[in-house]
Amino acid sequence: MKSLKTLAMVAVLGLGLAMGAGCAKNADELAPAPVAAPAVSTKAISKALTKNVVYFDFNKYDIKAEYRDMLQGMADTLKQYPSIVVLIAGNCDERGTEEYNQALGERRARAVYDYLVRLGVPAEQLDVISFGEDRPAVKGSNEEAWAKNRRDNFTIMAY
């Protein structure tokens, strides 16, 4: 009799475990799968982000409408990859004093920084620097060269 009782308890216990396991399986099937960032090389991300340049009008630091979509794309990428840190470098053409151009470069870099933060990029992922007139993209003293030197460019500091 005792073995029949033991057998019955084992059967009930086994049935309960089987039913419980079945429920757990169904619950797992209903749970959303974790979302992972796409597998993209850091080299590809770096290339995509650092190819971007924001150009400014003479003596200005406001972001033109033509760069908003590009900056939105950068913001989306940075939010997707929170370990990436980007340095925003403000640059000027050669006109103006060194002190003035240093300050203007800072305002240009800060304008893009503020814009990206407003788009949801954590401030910890961004840093700014001004090179003033010290790092021209193009040599020359004409409007074509000056226009290319009034810019913000981007450097990846950390992945």
Higher pLDDT, 71 or 46: 71
Same domain, 25 and 64: no
Q: Which residues contact 11 (CB under 8 A, 6 or more apart)?
A: none
pLDDT of residue 5: 46
Same domain, 79 and 6: no
Range of the domain at 19: 1-35
Tokens standing for residue 19: 């039913």
For residues 140 and 93, what is the distance between their CA atoms, to the nearest angstrom? 10
Same domain, 21 and 83: no
Q: Could you read off the pLDDT of 68-127 as tens digits, one per residue?
A: 999 999 999 999 999 999 999 999 999 999 999 999 999 999 999 999 999 999 999 999
Same domain, 117 and 80: yes
Q: Could you read off the pLDDT of 19-45 as tens digits, one per residue?
A: 444 444 454 555 555 555 556 677 788
For 102, phi and psi rounded to 5 degrees? -65, -45
What value does the CA radius of gyration of the chain take, rounded to a whole number of Å?
28
Same domain, 19 and 78: no
Q: What is the torsional sign of CA 15, 20, 25, 29?
A: positive
Nearest to 156 by CA among 89, 85, 88, 91: 85
Same domain, 47 and 105: yes
Under 8 Å between Cβ of 120 and 72: no
Confidence of residue 15 (pLDDT cuts 50, 70, 90): very low
pLDDT of residue 13: 42
Same domain, 97 and 55: yes
For position 53, which CATH number holds? 3.30.1330.60
